[in-house]
C-alpha cells in the first residue's frame, strides 16, 4: 500500500524537486571563443607547410600570418602523449594558458601548438609563462618580417 500513498502524495504536492546540479555556471566572458580557435584540418596543414617554427622547452609553436580578422590558435596533441584522458587534460591546460596570455599575441596569426612529453609534468604557471613568451616572440618575428620587404 506504500505505492498508493506515494502516488497520492505526489499528486497532492506536485512532482518531487529536481536534484541540484553541482556544475558551476559557465562564465561567458572567460571562454576561449570559437572564432579564436583553429579548427579545420586544411588550416593546420597550411600552417605546418608554409609557416615558421618557434621551439620552446615544453612545446613547439608553428605560426603563419593569419588570413582571418583575428589571431587563431589550434592544438595538436598526439597519442604519444598518453591516453585520451591525459591528452584532453593537456588540451584543457593549453587552452586556458592561451586564453590567459592571448593579449600578448599582438599580430593576426594562425598558431598551432604542439606539446612535447615534458608538458605532462610541467606546472601550469610554467606552461602559461612559456605560452606568453612564445606569443611575444611570434609577434616580434611577424612584425620584423613585414619590415624587411
pLDDT in tens, 48-88: 999 999 999 999 999 999 777 889 999 999 999 999 999 99
The residue whose grid cell reads 561567458 is 28
Q: The whole model's pTM is what?
A: 0.76
Q: How many helices (H) and strands (E) does the chain have?
A: 4, 4
Say if residues 112 and 75 touch (Cβ distance below 8 Å).
yes
Amino acid at each position: 500500500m506504500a505505492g498508493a500513498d506515494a502516488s497520492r502524495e505526489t499528486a497532492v504536492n506536485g512532482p518531487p524537486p529536481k536534484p541540484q546540479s553541482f556544475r558551476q555556471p559557465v562564465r561567458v566572458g572567460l571562454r576561449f571563443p570559437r572564432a579564436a580557435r583553429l579548427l579545420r584540418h586544411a588550416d593546420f596543414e597550411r600552417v605546418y607547410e608554409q609557416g615558421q617554427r618557434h621551439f620552446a622547452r615544453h612545446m613547439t609553436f608553428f605560426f603563419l600570418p593569419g588570413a582571418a580578422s583575428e589571431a587563431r590558435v589550434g592544438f595538436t596533441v598526439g597519442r604519444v602523449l598518453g591516453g585520451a584522458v591525459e591528452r584532453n587534460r593537456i588540451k584543457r591546460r593549453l587552452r586556458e594558458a592561451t586564453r590567459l596570455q592571448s593579449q600578448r599575441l599582438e599580430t593576426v596569426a594562425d598558431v598551432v601548438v604542439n606539446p612535447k612529453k615534458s608538458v605532462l609534468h610541467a606546472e601550469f604557471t610554467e606552461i602559461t609563462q612559456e605560452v606568453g613568451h612564445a606569443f611575444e616572440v611570434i609577434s616580434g618575428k611577424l612584425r620584423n618580417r613585414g619590415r624587411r620587404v
